[in-house]
């Protein structure tokens, strides 16, 4: 019967070859999503902003990362299904009902599309775009959210208007636009179920999802029933939470793919983790008394999970927080601000951020051309430095300084080097790991009594001291301010 499940989940219409994962199969409706212009734009958005200026191989795109996340999310779900069937020792003669097969298939397809679209709202240069001062001002403009959803009902996904837009809000908007153009009816899927497992959303799942959720929980938990009186209403919420944790959680498909992909293309293997080993030890966890449903890991899989966390920790410190990389990120943000000094560019970017008809124009290519335009007019500009890979002069690196300590150290450096205080700039990267202990306690360790063979779930920090060792780390790099003009020229002259 496991073969029947694999056949059901393994049918595909196209195969994409990926340098990290190998062949990645696609369903027909997924091909329609990928072929949409708003998804195709991800080909022209680099996964790691301009990290390639430091690690030349890191030119990979959000496009292939998103497809990779879909593939990893599928593997996670299937690995847990397979482990459940294997541990229940179902024989080939034991048949799952058609309702159970249908529920598994539906949830798997929801996971795949949620993973595929999770980053679809990223704009040029990914995270650096929204960190640029003038872009943040644009995205914080009153009525921006309503303009973005003009003519559409956002209340299906957002119960209230967010105070400030992030790229996750744009991902939801893009997903709605893309899924509205896809024949989801033919696939038997509902957009609200897909978008409901993406970040920032709060949805009422479809009747189809609710039906499958009850079937799935009964399949996993057997004859156990929820203790709460309103347990029947809790089931869809519990299952949707489980699916959401696969798309975006502490052990999620997004992190697993970007760590493998970024390490591969950067030719960096710091820490390292074995995805196959990690997935083979993931399990469905549930507790009908709380009620709770989420990811669990076997006791023997703790080593693989510790490798996963340590690898991520090291990637932040040694790659994403590299002194030259953070210096280029600072220059990039200033160059973006510089481009927006031009009234025509400002108006166009403002339009793109408010209208899905033009949002696809916001790619790295747009800004590279804008940088070159500024650089031709003004050699003493941030754009010129970016275009010509002129890096910041690094002065010093410190860790875990307060704001006051950063200012004091900047003044000290300026005095020692004979510079003015304004000649020293800082770049800070916060590696937020203090929440590892709390968040990983949401992932239980599945333990079995060696005598009774009964399963029990324990907090992960009760079993392993490893996860309590991490805290927030702040890396601060100090640089000399480059010699640039106070303001880029008016490019309309």
Report the pLDDT value the prediction gives residue 93, as an integer from 0 to 100.
47
Angle at which helices 323-339 and 364-377 cross, to 10°: 80
Confidence tier at 7 by pLDDT (50, 70, 90): very low
Asked if pLDDT for residue 491 goes beyond 50, the answer is no
Confidence tier at 1 by pLDDT (50, 70, 90): very low
Asked if pLDDT for residue 419 goes beyond 80, the answer is yes
pTM greater than 0.85 (yes/no): yes
Which residue is listed with tokens 């989420």?
A: 294
Report the pLDDT value the prediction gives residue 6, as an integer from 0 to 100.
47
Selection from 78, 64, 87, 102 nearest residue 3 by Cα:
78
Asked if pLDDT for residue 493 goes beyond 60, the answer is no
Report the pLDDT value the prediction gives residue 142, as an integer from 0 to 100.
87
Asked if pLDDT for residue 230 goes beyond 60, the answer is no
Q: Which tens digit of pLDDT belongs to each residue from 175-186? A: 999 999 999 999
CA gap 15, 11 in Å, rounded? 11
CB atoms within 10 A of CB 216: 26
CB atoms within 10 A of CB 256: 23
Higher pLDDT, 35 or 91: 35
Asked if pLDDT for residue 188 goes beyond 60, the answer is yes
Report the pLDDT value the prediction gives residue 223, as an integer from 0 to 100.
66
CB atoms within 10 A of CB 31: 15
Mean local confidence (pLDDT), 181-207? 95
CA gap 269, 311 in Å, rounded? 9
Q: Residue 310 class from Cβ within 10 Å (0-12 exposed, 13-18 middle, 19+ buried)? A: middle
CA gap 409, 93 in Å, rounded? 72
Confidence tier at 267 by pLDDT (50, 70, 90): confident
The answer to whether residues 458 and 401 touch, using CB atoms and an 8 Å cutoff, is no
Q: Which tens digit of pLDDT belongs to each residue from 429-453? A: 887 665 555 556 567 888 776 666 6
Q: Which tens digit of pLDDT belongs to each residue from 66-75? A: 999 999 999 9
Asked if pLDDT for residue 244 goes beyond 50, the answer is yes
Q: Is 125 left (phi over 0), alpha (psi -120 to 50) or beta?
A: left
The answer to whether residues 170 and 150 touch, using CB atoms and an 8 Å cutoff, is no
Higher pLDDT, 245 or 437: 245
**Above pLDDT 70, what percent of the chain?**
88
Report the pLDDT value the prediction gives residue 10, as an integer from 0 to 100.
58
Report the pLDDT value the prediction gives residue 310, as an integer from 0 to 100.
85
Query: CA 228 from chain center: how many Å?
Result: 34
Confidence tier at 466 by pLDDT (50, 70, 90): confident
Report the pLDDT value the prediction gives residue 234, as an integer from 0 to 100.
87
Asked if pLDDT for residue 472 goes beyond 90, the answer is no
């Amino acid at each position: 019967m496991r073969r029947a499940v694999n056949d059901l989940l393994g049918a595909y219409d196209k195969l994409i070859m990926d340098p990290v994962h190998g062949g990645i199969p696609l369903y027909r409706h997924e091909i329609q999503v990928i072929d949409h212009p708003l998804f195709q734009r991800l080909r022209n958005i680099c996964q790691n902003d301009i990290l390639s200026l430091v690690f030349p191989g890191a030119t990979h795109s959000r496009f292939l990362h998103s497809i990779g996340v879909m593939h990893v999310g599928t593997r996670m779900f299937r690995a847990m299904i397979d482990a459940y069937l294997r541990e229940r020792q179902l024989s080939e003669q034991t048949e799952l009902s058609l309702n159970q097969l249908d529920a598994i298939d539906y949830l798997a397809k929801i996971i795949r599309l949620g993973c595929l679209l999770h980053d679809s709202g990223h704009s040029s240069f990914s995270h650096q775009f929204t960190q640029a001062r003038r872009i943040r001002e644009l995205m914080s403009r009153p009525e921006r959210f309503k303009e973005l959803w003009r003519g559409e009902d956002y209340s299906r996904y957002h119960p209230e208007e967010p105070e400030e837009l992030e790229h996750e809000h744009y991902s939801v908007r893009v997903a709605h636009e893309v899924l509205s153009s896809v024949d989801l009816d033919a696939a038997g899927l509902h957009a609200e179920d897909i978008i409901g497992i993406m970040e920032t959303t709060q949805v009422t799942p479809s009747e189809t999802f609710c039906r499958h959720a009850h079937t799935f929980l009964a399949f996993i938990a057997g004859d156990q029933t929820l203790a709460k009186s309103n347990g029947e209403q809790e089931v869809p919420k519990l299952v949707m939470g489980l699916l959401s944790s696969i798309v975006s959680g502490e052990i999620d498909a997004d992190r697993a793919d970007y760590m493998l992909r970024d390490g591969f293309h950067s030719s960096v293997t710091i820490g390292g983790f074995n995805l196959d080993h990690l997935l083979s030890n993931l399990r469905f966890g549930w507790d009908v008394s709380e009620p709770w449903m989420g990811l669990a890991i076997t006791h023997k899989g703790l080593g693989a999970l510790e490798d996963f966390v340590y690898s991520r920790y090291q990637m932040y410190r040694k790659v994403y927080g590299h002194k030259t990389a953070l210096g280029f990120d600072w220059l990039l943000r200033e160059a973006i601000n510089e481009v927006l000094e031009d009234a025509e560019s400002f108006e166009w970017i403002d339009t793109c951020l408010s209208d899905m008809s033009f949002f696809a124009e916001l790619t790295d290519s747009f800004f590279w051309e804008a940088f070159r335009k500024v650089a031709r007019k003004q050699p003493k500009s941030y754009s010129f430095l970016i275009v010509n890979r002129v890096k910041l002069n690094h002065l010093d690196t410190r860790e875990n300084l307060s704001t006051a300590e950063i200012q004091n150290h900047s003044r000290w450096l300026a005095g020692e080097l004979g510079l003015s205080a304004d000649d020293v700039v800082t770049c800070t990267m916060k590696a937020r790991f203090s929440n590892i202990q709390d968040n990983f306690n949401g992932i239980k360790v599945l333990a079995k009594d060696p005598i009774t063979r009964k399963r029990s779930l324990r907090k992960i920090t009760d079993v392993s001291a490893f996860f309590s060792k991490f805290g927030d780390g702040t890396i601060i790099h100090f640089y000399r301010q480059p010699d640039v003009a106070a303001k880029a020229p008016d490019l309309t002259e």
